[in-house]
Amino acid sequence: MLENQLQTYFGFDGFKKGQKQVIEKILAGESAGAIFPTGAGKSLCYQLPAMLLPDMTLVVSPLLSLMKDQLDFLISHNIPAARLDSTLGPEETQAIFDKAKNGLLKILMISVERFKNERFRFHLQNMRISLLVVDEAHCISEWGHNFRPEYLNLPYYRQEFKIPQALLLTATATKQVADDMRLKFDIPEKNVIATGFYRENLYLQVTPCPASEKNTRLLQRIQKKPGAPTIVYVTLQKTAENVARFLCENHINAAAYHAGMQHPEREAIQNRFMDGSLSCVVATIAFGMGIDKRDIRRVIHYDLPKSIENYSQEIGRSGRDGELALCEVLADRDGIHILENFIYGDTPDKRAIRQVLQTIAENDGFIWEIKLFRLSSEVNIRPLPLKTLLVYLAMEGVIRPKFSYFEDYTFKYLQGPSWILDQFEGERKQFVRAVFDHCHTKKIWTSANISDILANYQTDRRRIITALEYFEEKGWIELQAGQTVEVYDILNQAVDMERMTETLHTLFLKKQTQEIDRIRRMVPLFESTSCISRGLAAYFGEILDFERCGHCAFCKTGPVRLPEPAALRSLSTFDFTELTAEFVQAAGEYLTSGNLAKFLCGIHTPVFMKLKARKMSTFGRLEAYPFMEVIDWISRHRKNTPEKTSID
Ligand code: ADP
Ligand code: MG
């Protein structure tokens, strides 16, 4: 019986809601999906089947820390599991490959990028895999709140490596997202098990609060129980720091946490929060994913969350022990423009899209190799939307991803090159000499120029890399992989440039509308004239069988009104020429209405690095204004000065 196996392998007395249904589907040889709230035990849906299926289970997870927790759990239950990541040395990596190929591993955890790695792909051909698990599977849907373009390739990888079954796990998916992700993996609707979003121990408080009063309100709230584990969510890194400092000055044991901080520092904060020596973390959304702390008593949104999906996930981290927890939004409308502006910043203009198409059209031959960051600054599209564009191009049949590799390998000699050379004889010696001859040493690091070696010696990439890895294994050099190069097949070099630009730009606009809409649906939820718990569940397609939960702002005190944003002085009162002079002078070919609006709204875009835009005194001067209004204002002015009219 399944219950016995659950007991044997993991020592649990029974299944949690939904687990058994999902596991039964998998054991019947089908694919399935699990939509359970955070902390509800999604991982077990693959962990138990992994022990019962004939071959290995491959788990794709977006976050290293998620993998680490799951791996620790598995190892502690003597389950043969491993994770591949870039921190492992070559010997450790090889040992994992060997085990996997010999059937000695039950679970292997990887990141999605790993599928593009040459060496991994090579070994994967020889592994037998029963099940592909996608954790945080909403990342695969463009309509999800955390779209990761690389995830769109997962269904193809599944085909390529002939993995019979798939299991998708997520905590938050609207009906649209759930359908989208299951269809991509051919999972029938009845195989997607959702357990519901309603949590009766969470008090959903919405406190109308103008920006100027937030600090005081927050402090008052925390002072009621200064030691209670609390997460305060903010939008911007600098807010995280300012609020944490304010709390510390008022004797609250708090620390900031955001993606701009160094990894060790972040880890230390997370550990202190976990063990209770730090009571309050003021964080951007970088914090919390994968944290399994059961006694979080308060989740306070100092700024509006990014979306209802984010809200649901973030509050879901509180009260996992089943005890009461407070989820409070200090709500005003001021932050909405900032959230929206992030989105506008991610929509490339037509000029940039056309430039990418141009690059493809002019490429010599049908193999297209790119370095993401270089292309990003060349065409002025941020890395994430550029990845999205590449996926769109693949969907439109223009390109097809092949694989990626590390372009240059750099290393440090731990033994002199002539000494290393002396370890070899005959052809091998010639080969090693050819490699070293085309290495270039700066002060400490030496870089191997692979294409130069290939041009001068009859060999292939694989042999060169194997040699460098061998030297490292021997302790003769210390090796570092360089920048990733993504390799695509060009399927159609003769596209109608204008039409394709239009098509792609329309796709981005559609995405932009969706995301703006996602933000705009949030305020009505908080100002709801009916139960907020019901509204929240309904957003995810679940109808609760009661009218009032009794523990949300509406049920407790009636409908809430958010304060109106502080009145802004009309744009027409600004001096256009004065505000734009600096940028116009520096921008050159990058002078488009879109870039100018981004500049004035303080939205970063790659070319601003080159232009040193952030250093200009007018950068971000219209930060508080909605992007669309600024664009309109610019267009009106530029119409009157035709020589500056932009094509976009
Ligand atoms: P999720 O991925 O849904 O957020 P996890 O898979 O991380 O949740 O599980 C949360 C916790 O619940 C883990 O500590 C896990 O060991 C525990 N758990 C899972 N299934 C069971 C079960 N059937 N009985 C008891 N504890 C369980
Ligand atoms: Mg999980």
Query: What is the Å distance from ligand 1's center to 14 Cα?
Result: 11
Residue pLDDT, tens place only, 424-472: 999 999 999 999 999 888 888 888 888 888 888 988 887 888 888 888 8
Residues 6+ apart with CB under 8 A from 610: 377
41 lines ligand 1 (CB under 6 A): yes
Q: What is the pLDDT of residue 490?
A: 95
Q: Which residue has the higher pLDDT, 403 or 245?
A: 245
pLDDT for the residue numbered 645: 42
pLDDT of res. 641: 62
Q: What is the pLDDT of residues 520-552, one digit of tens each?
A: 999 999 999 999 999 999 998 888 999 999 999
Predicted pLDDT of residue 290: 63
Residue nearest to ligand 1 atom 16, measured at CA: 41
Supply the angle between the helices 336-345 and 497-520 in degrees, to the nearest 10: 160
pLDDT mean over 471-476:
84
Cα–Cα distances in angstroms (integers) from residue 99 to residues 92, 96, 108, in the given order: 11, 5, 10
- The residue among 344, 516, 401, 478 whose CA lies nearest residue 150 is 401
Q: Is the CB of 351 under 6 A from ligand 1?
A: no
For a pLDDT cut of 70, what percent of the chain falls above it? Answer: 97
What confidence score (pLDDT) does residue 647 get? 42
* CB of 292 shorter than 6 A to ligand 1: yes
Sorted by sequence, the CB contacts under 8 Å of residue 386 that are 6+ apart come out as 348, 356, 372, 375, 376, 379
Rounded Cα–Cα distance for residues 639 and 646 (Å):
9
Best CA proximity match to 526, nearest among 328, 342, 371:
328
pLDDT at 297 over 50: yes
Question: ∠ at Cα 165 (73, 75), nearest 5°?
Answer: 15
**What is the per-residue pLDDT across 184-220, written as a single tens digit (0 to 9) for each?**
999 999 999 999 888 899 999 999 999 999 999 999 9
CA-16 nearest atom, ligand 1: 23
Domains, the chain, in order of start with CATH, read: 2-194 (3.40.50.300), 202-334+533-557 (3.40.50.300), 571-644 (no CATH)
Could you tell me the distance, in angstroms and rounded to a whole number, from the CA of residue 126 to the centre of ligand 2?
29
CA 270, CA 255: separation in Å to the nearest integer? 10
CA of 43 to the centre of ligand 2 (A): 6
Cα(151)–Cα(135) distance, rounded to whole angstroms? 11
Whether the CB-CB separation of 252 and 279 falls below 8 Å is answered with yes
Q: Is the pLDDT of residue 331 over 70?
A: yes
Q: What is the C-alpha to C-alpha distance for residues 116 and 120, in angstroms, rounded to an integer?
A: 8
- In angstroms, what is the C-alpha Rg of the chain? 27
DSSP label of 335: T
- Alpha-carbon gap, residue 39 to 62, rounded angstroms: 17
* Contact in structure between 49 and 73 (CB atoms under 8 Å): no
Q: Could you tell me if the CB of 16 is within 6 A of ligand 1?
A: yes
Q: Do the strands 280-283 and 202-208 form a parallel or antiparallel pair, or are they unpaired?
A: unpaired
Q: What is the DSSP string of 62-123?
A: S-HHHHHHHHHHHHHTT--EEE--TTS-HHHHHHHHHHHHTT--SEEEE-GGGGGBHHHHHH
Range with lowest mean pLDDT among 172-181, 480-489, 639-648: 639-648
Q: What is the mean pLDDT of the chain?
A: 90
Q: 């791996």: which residue's tokens?
A: 71
Rounded CA gap, 530 and 549, in Å?
10
What is the edge-to-edge ordering of all strands in the sheet holding 409-413?
Answer: 439-441, 446-448, 409-413, 477-481
Report the separation in Å between the CA atom of 77 and the middle of ligand 1, taken as the mean of its atom positions. Answer: 14
The per-residue pLDDT for range 555-567, each reduced to its tens digit, is 999 999 998 877 8
Q: What's the pLDDT score for residue 618?
A: 95
Atom 18 in ligand 1: which residue has the minimum CA distance?
Answer: 41
In the reported structure, the alpha carbon of residue 578 is separated from the centroid of ligand 2 by a whole-number distance in angstroms of 52
Determine the Cα–Cα distance for residues 603 and 623; give it in Å rounded to an integer: 8
Reduced to 3 states (helix: H, G, I; strand: E, B; else coil), residue 36 is coil
Provide the pLDDT for residue 295.
94
From the CB of 595, is ligand 1 less than 6 Å away? no
Q: Assess contact for 395 and 380: CB atoms under 8 A.
A: no
Phi, psi of 476, deg, nearest 5: -85, -30
Question: How far apart (Å, rounded) are the C-alpha atoms in residues 42 and 137?
Answer: 12
Q: Mean per-residue pLDDT for 75-81? A: 95
Which residue's CA is the nearest one to ligand 1's atom 27? 41
Residues, the chain? 648
| Closest CA relative to residue 207, chosen from 566, 522, 565, 560 | 560
pLDDT one-digit tens code per residue, 112-162: 988 887 778 889 998 999 999 999 999 998 777 778 888 988 998 999 899
The three-point CA angle 543-545-551 to 5° equals: 95
- Residue 618 has a CB neighbour count (10 Å cut-off) of 15
Gap between the Cα atoms of 314 and 234, Å rounded: 11
pTM listed for this prediction: 0.77
572, two tokens: 């027409």
293 C-alpha vs ligand 1 centroid, how far in Å? 12
Q: Distance between CA atoms of 226 and 330, rounded to whole angstroms?
A: 18
Distance in angstroms (rounded) separating the CA atoms of residues 625 and 603: 12
Q: How does pLDDT run across 595-634, given as a tens digit for each residue?
A: 999 999 988 888 898 899 989 999 999 988 889 899 999 9
